[in-house]
């Protein structure tokens, strides 16, 4: 599979595309208009999504980013399903954002996040495949002088049944590319899908196994220099001065440059030379107003928000405050969730080459268009003089999506050395301390019972940081950050699952910090799932009821939420005795439009050593494009979710993040990984995400099992702060 981005083929694609771009000046009122011409010698582009070579190889263009989550394969499956091509001959290719803009955004949105890669592009990529198939069949029919309706396509072969004539996609692709694309080609009934829903192997595995896969950090160009950078460790601070003369004589050092008003970079022959010089470079920072902020001062600010008068109401029903005031029994708990770093294995990096006529960037990004936008802004050049070439990402988890600070920096450095390609690669320490952190929050939950132990009211007060206020203030709704309520929202793709609570109030006292927040895999469902699902267990315990039965009573209006919960309970054997010393815990949530639930089985030794034996997980994502990939995403999300709850937090001291490497910000290890059993139960009629939703149910399921095992409720994280370790 040629999913690796190799420079020669990439370059030839760009040249090929550039040569024909002018043929597209006419309005593209549907995104799948074929080009009528193509570069001599290049394979015909049937439409924007599909290129077919004479040897029947099908190149499927994928705009969304592959970063390990399998989107590349899933999207290709969807195009190929409608195209009726031979799956064994499918390869993929990334179009560039510059080409997309030049072609009036023919590939749509490049943004890859929010578990949207498949669910928000399935319709138009399938239509792209169907349109291309129709054109290929038409080309064959024209050649045979028969009605297209009498011809059919399967496995890259077109057949005219009446005459027994056959031809292949490769033979008619040239002619098909000249046909005016038909409009509104109908899509297959999901019931007839042959390739969608199959656990086909990923298209990008081989290159990763053989080491052929090029990641951003691996990228090399002739004459390339290497740079590394240090930004003011206190967020919002600036460079006051630096003494370049102290390091300019060091081996390999080419230049010491200021980048923007807050960072300094060293450019050298090798990366290690750049790092050594940067470490030796005296830099004086103007740390600004935030130099005294600490985790304790942030916690104090959040604590105040727990009881503050004013708060944004994200979800309510009845009158929760009155129900609590008149309760026969009241249960209250306060939880806290820390800042987290994305900590992808590959630190931020980008390679840039700038001349006054052209600025090019090579990088891993979750959003090629956003990287392109950052390139435009930093270079000051117009769109037709910029280009971004996407490289494989060594992890991202949200860090490479909404923020292209590393692209801006690379361009600003390259701009100071015109004509020379410069690869900027952050140190691990820079990556850890210049993150866009999972926001910090606290939560106070109050439950009200009547005299018969019925839950009559629930107040969930979230206090803490809003991501959108910092990242997309234009998306706030009269000041409220709707994303804060992910998983506990009134309706929609994050709908709260306990519609049976008669009096409900979920509100947010926004308390922002100077630490820049970002979208961390799962975003706000991580803490919201812990808050609500652990508290549900607390309420069940207070009412003397089984946690599953207690939840079921409140979920009558939420049948799909309930279905996944019931599925994990049944498979895990809830209600039947667990093996000796093993305890179970449950959690459920709707997130990114999928319904997910988990049942964890753990044992605890010595009161603090936790072994997670098994997690049974169910997901209803509407449609399951590649079940094998979904299973791996579930397991992978548990690695991320369990690592956080057991080990990870970013603390603030003197305005800066303290954790700077994996020795103090560790991931779980392979021997600690539980067995994960997945139930994939797509119920159809809607499209839900896969990469993120399940991340949030692992932690509360384990925490609830920990209570079952020990009788202890842990309400602040990570668990290592309580002496609890994962074994």
Partner 1 sequence: MRGKSRSSRRRFLAAASGLAVSAALPSTALAQLARTKPNAMPEVIGRLVGTAPINKGKVKLGVPPLVENGHLVPVSVNVESPMTATDHVQAIHVFTDKNPLPEVISFYLGPRAGRANIATRARLADTETVVAIAQMSDGSFWSDSVHVIVTTAACLEEL
Give whichever of 151 and 639 is closer to partner 1, judged by the CB atom: 639
Give whichever of 121 and 207 is closer to partner 1, judged by the CB atom: 121
**Residue 483 interacts with partner 1 (CB under 8 A)?**
yes
Minimum distance from residue 128 beta carbon to partner 1 (Å): 11
Minimum distance from residue 370 beta carbon to partner 1 (Å): 4
Q: In this chain, which of 49, 242, 339, 372 binds partner 1, going by CB under 8 A? A: 372
Give whichever of 38 and 521 is closer to partner 1, judged by the CB atom: 521
Measured distance CA(613)–CA(600) in Å, rounded: 8
| Tokens matching residue 438 | 């999972």
H helices, E strands: number in the chain: 18, 28
Q: In this chain, which of 471, 555, 578, 599 binds partner 1, going by CB under 8 A? A: 471
Measured distance CA(440)–CA(682) in Å, rounded: 33
**Residue 360 interacts with partner 1 (CB under 8 A)?**
no
- Give the residue among 332, 321, 325 at the shortest CA–CA distance from 447: 332
Task: Select from 220-228, 293-301, 469-477, 678-686 the region that touches partner 1 (CB under 8 A).
Answer: 469-477
Residues 94-153 that bind partner 1 (CB under 8 A): 101, 104-116, 120, 124
CA angle 671, 677, 682 (to 5 degrees): 145
**Residue 34 interacts with partner 1 (CB under 8 A)?**
no
Give whichever of 119 and 541 is closer to partner 1, judged by the CB atom: 119
**Residue 491 interacts with partner 1 (CB under 8 A)?**
no
- Inter-CA distances, 687 with 439, 512, 716, Å: 27, 33, 34
Q: In this chain, which of 282, 418, 473, 579 binds partner 1, going by CB under 8 A? A: 473
Minimum distance from residue 398 beta carbon to partner 1 (Å): 5
**Residue 494 interacts with partner 1 (CB under 8 A)?**
yes
Total interface residues for partner 1 by CB under 8 A: 57
Give whichever of 114 and 237 is closer to partner 1, judged by the CB atom: 114
**Residue 495 interacts with partner 1 (CB under 8 A)?**
no
Contact flags string 412-451 toward partner 1, x per CB under 8 A: ----------------------------------------
Residues 381-410 that bind partner 1 (CB under 8 A): 383, 398, 400-402, 404
Measured distance CA(467)–CA(519) in Å, rounded: 7
**Residue 479 interacts with partner 1 (CB under 8 A)?**
no
**Residue 486 interacts with partner 1 (CB under 8 A)?**
yes
Give whichever of 325 and 475 is closer to partner 1, judged by the CB atom: 475
Q: In this chain, which of 46, 348, 352, 370 binds partner 1, going by CB under 8 A? A: 370
Q: In this chain, which of 47, 367, 526, 648 binds partner 1, going by CB under 8 A? A: 367
- β partners of residue 167: 158
**Largest Cα–Cα distance in the chain?**
83
Minimum distance from residue 154 beta carbon to partner 1 (Å): 27
- Inter-residue contact 400 to 345 (CB < 8 Å): no
Give whichever of 377 and 716 is closer to partner 1, judged by the CB atom: 377
| Tokens matching residue 618 | 């169910």
| Tokens matching residue 340 | 């987290």
Give whichever of 296 and 345 is closer to partner 1, judged by the CB atom: 345
Minimum distance from residue 625 beta carbon to partner 1 (Å): 19
Can you list the pairs that 190-198 forms with residues at least 24 positions away whose Cβ atoms lie under 8 Å? Answer: 190/623, 190/684, 193/81, 194/81, 195/77, 195/80, 195/81, 195/87, 196/77, 196/78, 196/81, 196/623, 196/625, 197/623, 197/624, 197/625, 197/626, 197/627, 198/77, 198/626, 198/627
Give whichever of 49 and 535 is closer to partner 1, judged by the CB atom: 49
Minimum distance from residue 436 beta carbon to partner 1 (Å): 9
**Residue 180 interacts with partner 1 (CB under 8 A)?**
no
DSSP state of 75: H
- Residue 412 contacts by C-beta under 8 Å, 6 or more apart in sequence? 257, 259, 260, 378
**DSSP run (H or E) holding 475:** none
- Give the residue among 710, 668, 510, 695 at the shortest CA–CA distance from 592: 695
- Give the residue among 206, 247, 519, 579 at the shortest CA–CA distance from 370: 519
Measured distance CA(696)–CA(173) in Å, rounded: 46
- Buried/exposed 149-178: b ≥16 CB within 10 Å, e otherwise: eebebeebbbbbeeeeeebbbbbbbebbbe
**Residue 376 interacts with partner 1 (CB under 8 A)?**
yes
Radius of gyration of the chain (CA): 27
What is the torsional sign of CA 489, 491, 496, 498? Answer: positive
DSSP state of 345: S
What is the torsional sign of CA 511, 514, 515, 516? Answer: positive
Contact flags string 561-600 toward partner 1, x per CB under 8 A: -------------------------------x--------
Give whichever of 206 and 402 is closer to partner 1, judged by the CB atom: 402
Contact flags string 306-325 toward partner 1, x per CB under 8 A: --------------------
Interface with partner 1 by CB under 8 A: which residues? 27-31, 101, 104-116, 120, 124, 366-367, 369-370, 372-374, 376-377, 383, 398, 400-402, 404, 468, 471-475, 477, 482-483, 486, 492-494, 518-523, 592, 692
């Amino acid at each position: 599979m040629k999913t690796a981005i190799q420079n020669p083929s990439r370059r030839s694609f760009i040249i090929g595309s550039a040569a024909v771009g002018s043929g597209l000046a006419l309005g593209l009122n549907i995104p799948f208009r074929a080009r009528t011409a193509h570069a001599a010698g290049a394979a015909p582009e049937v439409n924007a999504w599909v290129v077919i070579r004479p040897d029947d190889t099908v190149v499927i263009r994928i705009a969304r980013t592959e970063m390990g989550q399998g989107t590349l394969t899933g999207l290709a499956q969807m195009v190929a399903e409608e195209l009726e091509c031979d799956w064994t001959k499918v390869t993929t290719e990334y179009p560039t954002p510059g080409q997309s803009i030049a072609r009036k955004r023919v590939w749509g949105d490049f943004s890859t996040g929010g578990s949207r890669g498949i669910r928000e592009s399935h319709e138009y990529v399938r239509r792209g495949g169907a349109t291309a198939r129709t054109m290929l069949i038409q080309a064959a029919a024209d050649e045979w002088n028969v009605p297209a309706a009498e011809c059919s396509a399967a496995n890259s072969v077109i057949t005219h049944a009446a005459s027994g004539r056959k031809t292949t996609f490769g033979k008619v692709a040239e002619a098909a590319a000249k046909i005016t694309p038909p409009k509104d080609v109908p899509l297959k009934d999901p019931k007839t899908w042959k390739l969608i829903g199959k656990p086909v192997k990923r298209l990008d595995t081989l290159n990763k196994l053989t080491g052929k896969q090029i990641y951003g950090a691996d990228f090399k160009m002739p004459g390339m220099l290497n740079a590394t950078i240090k930004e003011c460790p206190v967020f919002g601070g600036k460079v006051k001065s630096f003494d370049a003369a102290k390091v300019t004589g060091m081996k390999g050092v080419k230049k010491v440059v200021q980048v923007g008003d807050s960072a300094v970079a060293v450019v050298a022959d090798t990366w290690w030379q750049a790092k050594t010089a940067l470490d030796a470079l005296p830099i004086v920072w103007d740390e600004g107003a935030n130099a005294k902020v600490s985790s304790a001062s942030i916690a104090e600010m959040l604590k105040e928000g727990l009881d503050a008068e004013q708060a944004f109401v994200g979800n309510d029903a009845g009158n929760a405050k009155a129900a609590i005031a008149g309760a026969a029994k009241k249960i209250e708990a306060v939880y806290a969730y820390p800042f987290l770093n994305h900590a992808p294995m590959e630190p931020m990096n980008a390679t840039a080459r700038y001349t006054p006529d052209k600025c090019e960037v090579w990088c891993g990004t979750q959003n090629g268009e956003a990287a392109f936008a950052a390139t435009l802004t930093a270079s000051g050049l117009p769109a037709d003089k910029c280009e971004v070439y996407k490289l494989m990402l060594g992890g991202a988890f949200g860090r490479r999506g909404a923020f292209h600070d590393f692209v801006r920096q690379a361009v600003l450095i390259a701009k100071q050395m015109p004509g020379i390609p410069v690869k900027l690669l952050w140190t691990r320490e820079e990556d850890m301390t210049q993150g866009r952190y999972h926001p910090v929050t606290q939560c106070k939950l109050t439950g009200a019972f009547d005299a018969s132990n019925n839950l009559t009211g629930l107040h969930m007060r979230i206090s803490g940081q809003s991501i959108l206020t910092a990242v997309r203030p234009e998306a706030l709704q009269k000041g409220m950050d709707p994303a804060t309520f992910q998983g506990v929202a009134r309706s929609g793709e994050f709908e709260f699952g306990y519609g049976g609570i008669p009096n409900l109030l979920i509100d947010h006292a926004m308390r922002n910090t100077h630490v820049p927040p970002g979208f961390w895999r799962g975003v706000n469902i991580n803490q919201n799932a812990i808050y609500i699902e652990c508290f549900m267990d607390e309420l069940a315990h207070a009412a003397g009821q089984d946690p599953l039965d207690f939840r079921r009573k409140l979920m009558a209006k939420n049948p799909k939420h309930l279905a996944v919960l019931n599925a994990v309970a049944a498979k895990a054997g809830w209600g039947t005795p667990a093996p000796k010393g093993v305890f179970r815990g449950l959690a459920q949530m709707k997130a990114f439009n999928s319904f997910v639930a988990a049942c964890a089985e753990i044992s605890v030794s010595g009161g603090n050593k936790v072994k997670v034996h098994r997690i049974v997980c169910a997901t209803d994502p509407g449609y399951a494009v590649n079940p094998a990939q979904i299973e791996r995403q579930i397991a992978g999300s548990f690695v991320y979710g369990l690592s956080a709850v057991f080990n990870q937090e970013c603390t603030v001291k003197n305005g800066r993040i303290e954790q700077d490497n994996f020795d103090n910000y560790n991931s779980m290890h392979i021997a600690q990984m539980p067995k994960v059993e997945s139930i994939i139960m797509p119920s159809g009629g809607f499209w839900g995400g896969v990469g993120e939703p399940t991340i949030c149910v692992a932690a509360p399921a384990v925490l609830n099992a920990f209570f079952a095992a020990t009788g202890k409720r842990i309400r602040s994280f990570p668990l290592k702060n309580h002496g609890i370790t994962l074994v």
